[in-house]
Chain A
């Protein structure tokens, strides 16, 4: 088997928590911090760390606002994040295709 696709997998995305965040944001234009936390079953601290990592990689944009005097943090994929996620999916599909008997 050609190990190339596996080696090309993006290490930032290739982590369960961060992959979950990107998967959810790929299906929705934006999601709040609480929606992500509840859907992924993460702690506040854990989610914050992953969001920061994704933000530093340029994959995520975070908007902080107020709604009825309550802070509202929303996350969205950047164009780079969407592209990186699509590449990641393509590589996974490539791995599966390679392993499939001809």
Chain B
């Protein structure tokens, strides 16, 4: 009898410890924001004909900065609203988990930008660089998968969607009929815009209910 009681106590302790370590900010607004930024940026990039490797990398690096800054502002607003610390241990853990793949993506992009030299400014050179947005997609998926260990379970699946999608498109290669510019912006729109927005909408309808449970 005593052992049953002790086992139940240990189970309660385990559950509470897991809950304490979990990132609890509402993710629906953050995902939706990133989805809208991704779609708007892809549309803008397409309209402005951002097609040379240099312009493509710099343009999407700028979009990344906007997305990260906006996400942190949303997290900070939630923290303030709930009278909690912004840079809380779970926020730190999630950031630390996401950093290595994101830094890897940044470093590869910088190397490509530097190594490509003057050719990076030529619009027709993007064709040879279409692996780069796919690499971003895969590394971004890895970042979310790593962060998923400190977040609700769905986040790891979200990461897998990027990893599998990115690898699948890489294996399939760019279709011959697609213009490199359209293909590059299309990849960014689908993954960084569409997937984020779809997950944001899904979380909007499910997150509140799950947190209340």
Chain A residues with a Cβ under 8 A of chain B:
1, 6, 19-20, 23-32, 34-35, 39-40, 67-68, 70-72, 74, 89, 92-93, 95-96, 98-100
Cα A70 to Cα B16 in complex, Å, equals 27
Would A25 and B20 count as touching, CB distance under 8 A?
yes
Residues of chain A with a CB closer than 8 A to B80's CB? 67-68, 70
Nearest B residue (CB) for A92: B6
Measured CA separation A100–B7 after assembly (Å) = 11
6 CB contacts below 8 A, A to B, read A1-B2, A23-B20, A27-B16, A30-B85, A35-B84, A40-B16
Closest to A35 in B: B84
B9 touches A74 (CB 8 A): no
Question: Does A70 contact B83, Cβ atoms closer than 8 Å?
Answer: yes
Whether A6 touches B2, Cβ cut-off 8 Å, given contacts A23-B16, A28-B20, is yes
> Contacts A23-B16, A32-B85, A39-B20; is A93 near B2 (CB within 8 Å)?
no
Are B90 and A89 in contact (CB-based, < 8 A)?
Answer: no
Q: In this assembly, does B106 line the interface, its C-beta being within 8 Å of a C-beta of chain A?
A: no
Complex Cα distance A29/B85, Å? 13
Query: How near does chain A come to B191, taking the closest CB pair, in angstroms?
Result: 33
Report whether B84 and A19 are in contact in the complex, using a CB–CB cutoff of 8 Å. no
Task: Choose from B7, B18, B83, B85 the contact partner of A27 (Cβ within 8 Å).
Answer: B18
Leading 6 A-B pairs by shortest Cβ distance: A99-B3, A27-B17, A24-B20, A23-B16, A27-B20, A95-B6
Interface of chain B residues 70 through 94 with chain A (CB within 8 A) = 80, 82-85, 88-90
The dominant DSSP class at the B interface is helix
Task: Note all chain A residues with C-beta closer than 8 A to B7.
Answer: 96
> Residues of B within 8 Å of A, CB-based: how many?
23
B10 proximity list for chain A (CB < 8 A): 89, 92-93, 96
The docked-state distance in angstroms from the alpha carbon of A30 to that of B88 is 8
Please tell me if the beta carbons of B13 and A89 are within 8 angstroms of each other in the complex: yes
- Nearest chain B residue, comparing its CB with the CB of A65: B85
Residues of chain A within 8 A (CB-CB) of B9 are 19, 92
Residue among A20, A27, A67, A71 making CB contact with B12, cutoff 8 Å: A20
Distance in Å: Cβ of A31 to nearest Cβ of chain B: 7
Shortest C-beta distance, A51 to chain B (Å), equals 15
Q: Point out which of A23, A26, A34, A72 has the most chain B C-beta atoms below 10 A from its C-beta.
A: A23
Q: Mark B82-119, 1 if CB is under 8 A from A, else 0.
A: 11110011100000000000000000000000000000
Residue numbers in A under 8 Å from B18 (CB-CB): 27
